[in-house]
Structure 1
Amino acid sequence: MADERLYFQLQRAAHHLRVAADRRCMGAAGITTAQLGALFAVQQQPGVTQQELAHTLGQRESAITSMVTRLVDAGLISKRTHPRQYRAIALELTASGKRALDRVRPAMDEFNEQMRAAIGADKFTETAEALARLDQWFEAT
């Protein structure tokens, strides 16, 4: 009989996936999965503010401030004065940040393919959609 403690199973799987993905990201580009998420968000929305980035990533602003400092220090993103928001800082991906994303993409593509194989190709999209619905449910509550 399958273990139906869904929260426990999700938590355990998330931990193992995060550790494995972090290893791959660190090996490929010297970044964590949390930093990868931030880089992708900045790439998708150039000029994003730290507040907007925190919302996008579901993180506290204080955590994002620390992460942004590390990414700036590593030369992966840059800060500039926001053109429309007084006191806001706009974030941009640097050339080094773009190269880091290029280096990590094959490792993450391979990881996704391995997850697809583990879940089953026919269930992969269904699983991703179910997790997105859980995320939307949480946002609505």
Structure 2
Amino acid sequence: MSEPDQRLYFLLQRAAHRLRTAVDRRCLAVAGVTTAQVGALFAVQDRPGATQQELAGELGLRESAVTALVGRLTMAGLLSKQAHPSQHRAVVLELTDAGADALRAARPEIDRFNAQLRELLGEDGFVRTAEALHRLAYDWEA
């Protein structure tokens, strides 16, 4: 019996791609949004009035990518943009009623996905994995 593959970076990338593809299909079917869009909508819901620059920081994306993402969400009626009260080039983002509806529709799929991961990893493994990924995502310096 051969040892399992231990190329962790490769496995993380492959797992992330497969998970994103599967959950994108689910979220698109029930809510009409991708996981990237769900992430942006949740971030705006958590920080109403955030600027695109702040959203980019929260999502760990370049501002140009967030500009395109916000454009799609605005065109879909899920976000609204308003002029920033003190920064003449900035806009503030707000979740629309349709955006809140999309999040409500996506939530059961996200919860189902997390339940599947909890089953796969066990409760302790789920918590430990979430903690490790959080450290990698926010605290770790390569």
For the superposition of Structure 1 and Structure 2, which TM-score range results when normalised by the shorter chain?
over 0.9
Q: 1:76 aligns with which of 47, 56, 78?
A: 78
The residue aligned with 2:28 is 26
The residue aligned with 1:11 is 13
The residue aligned with 1:41 is 43
Please report how far the alpha carbon of residue 129 of structure 1 lies from its aligned counterpart in structure 2 after TM superposition. 0.4
Q: 1:58 aligns with which of 60, 71, 87?
A: 60
Give identity over the alignment, percent: 59
Q: Secondary structure at the match of 1:48?
A: coil
Deviations 1:67-119, CA, capped at 9 Å, x for gaps: 11110110000010112322210000000000000000011101110111111
Q: Secondary structure at the match of 2:98?
A: helix
- CA distance, structure 1, for counterparts of residue 48 and residue 18 of structure 2: 31
- CA distance, structure 2, for counterparts of residue 137 and residue 43 of structure 1: 24
Q: 1:101 aligns with which of 93, 96, 103?
A: 103
Q: TM-score, normalised by structure 2?
A: 0.94
Deviations 1:25-60, CA, capped at 9 Å, x for gaps: 101101011101100000000011011111111111
Q: TM-score, normalised by structure 1?
A: 0.94
- CA distance, structure 2, for counterparts of residue 137 and residue 88 of structure 1: 28
**Runs of 5+ in structure 2 lacking a partner?**
none
- CA distance, structure 1, for counterparts of residue 92 and residue 73 of structure 2: 14
The residue aligned with 1:2 is 4
- CA distance, structure 1, for counterparts of residue 89 and residue 14 of structure 2: 41
- Letter of the 1:127 counterpart: T
- CA distance, structure 2, for counterparts of residue 137 and residue 122 of structure 1: 21
The residue aligned with 2:127 is 125
- CA distance, structure 2, for counterparts of residue 25 and residue 83 of structure 1: 34
Equivalent pairs counted in the alignment come to 140
